[in-house]
Amino acid sequence: MDTERAADDLEVETRRVVDRLRTLALDALARRADEDADGDRTRADLAHATAQALAAAAAELEGTGRHVVPRLADSTVADQVAVCAADLAAAVRAGGGEAQAAGALAALRRLRGLL
């Protein structure tokens, strides 16, 4: 997979996930995710963890230190995922990173399946 295609695929899946997160009611975001392996994380917690993973992948590609994505209110997780994914897509386009994009794509698909 080339870098442009990898970034495009990442952006498409990001839109799907972010749209789904934005349509969930706050009480739905606060509910435990049924398929969560840990069993006690909410959908918002899982979205935040995905945003953190996306930020870490972008930082790796950019050669910067890891960025900590703050855990804010549940209502912000869609925006956090959107911003972190956009940063990663830009980093992929700037210099490779197909492996990071593939990992991020899998993480986003997994999250969408849990929502």
pLDDT tens track, the chain, 115 positions: 588 898 999 999 999 999 999 999 999 999 987 665 566 889 999 999 999 999 999 999 998 888 899 999 999 999 999 999 999 999 999 987 889 999 999 999 999 998 8
pLDDT of residue 102: 93
* DSSP SS3 for 42: strand
Query: Helices 43-62 and 98-114 meet at what angle, rounded to 10?
Result: 180
- Beta carbons of 14 and 71 less than 8 angstroms apart: no
- Beta carbons of 14 and 86 less than 8 angstroms apart: yes
pTM beyond cutoff 0.85: yes
Give the residue among 61, 78, 79, 80 at the shortest CA–CA distance from 70: 80
